[in-house]
Amino acid sequence: MSERFYVESVPFAETAAVALFDRERPKQNPIFVDFESAQLKFRRRGGVDGEMVVKSFGLSPRERAGRLIVDCSAGLGTDAYLLALAGYRVLAVERNPLVFAMLQDGWRRMSDARTARGEPGLEFRVVAGEGSDVLRELLAAGERPYGVYFDPMFEDESKKGKSLPRKEMATLRDLLFGTVIGGQSPAEFLRYAMGVVIGRVVVKRPTGAPPVLLEPGPVNRIEGKVAGYDIYPCRVAPPRQ
């Protein structure tokens, strides 16, 4: 499986981008991260407070500064980027090495572009690894994030309405379902994350799909046309008296 997919540098916007290729779909356009795309610029211009992922974490713009959200399924980083634009401190964790290579490259180009425009840097970091390992490291270092975001791509996910064209989406699905073996189930991960945050855990689901956990279930769902955002409260045990 590992030979089917590979990343390679392609010329892009007077520099280069790390792009994903699929040997079984040789005619397909390369997939890469572009935080400066026209589509994301448009979303950014309109203000990101109305973005569902931002709404799902619930804090007002003033309350967000310095609050850490760990995106434990960063993928190509769009949701993490929107949260960082909204003013959160974001740590984006990605466990697939090929996806991480694209994410890190896109993040670097975006940071360089902001610097070139004289814009302040975002509080946005990317890290390779398993979400729960990174949460454990944060706890060991004495930091509890405000929120955890989880959008792991489920087997039952609908294929419509995604930001990538359908063929490219199919390549990503084949890559992710073909190479990630083992690890915690989404439900196990979620139970763990609820005991780590001080605010909330948000899980993205296809519209109409049932929550990942029913016991304890989400306290709310923000439902959009293609995705729903289940909100689970913090379940940190109170300190012993």
Ligand X SMILES: C[S@@+](CC[C@H](N)C(=O)[O-])C[C@H]1O[C@@H](n2cnc3c(N)ncnc32)[C@H](O)[C@@H]1O
Among 16, 127, 138, 153, binds ligand X (CB under 6 A): 153
What CA–CA distances, in Å, run from 102 to 97, 105, 119, 233? 9, 5, 23, 32
Q: What is the dihedral of CA 25, 26, 27, 28, to 10 degrees?
A: 50
Among 69, 70, 76, 126, binds ligand X (CB under 6 A): 76
- Is residue 228 near ligand X by the rule CB under 6 A? no
- Is residue 151 near ligand X by the rule CB under 6 A? yes
- Is residue 123 near ligand X by the rule CB under 6 A? no
Task: Give the Cα separation of 205 and 137 in Å (integer).
Answer: 27
Stretch that binds ligand X, among 72-80, 136-144, 192-200, 216-224 (CB under 6 A): 72-80
Whether 233 and 219 have beta carbons less than 8 Å apart is answered as yes
- Is residue 130 near ligand X by the rule CB under 6 A? yes
Cβ 202 to ligand X, closest distance in Å? 11
Please identify the residue of the shown chain whose CB is closest to the bound ligand X. Answer: 75
Task: Give the Cα separation of 154 and 178 in Å (integer).
Answer: 13
Instruction: Please give the structure tokens belonging to residue 6.
Output: 């590979």
By CB under 6 A, name the binding residues for ligand X.
72-73, 75-79, 93-96, 99, 130-131, 151-153, 176, 180, 183, 189
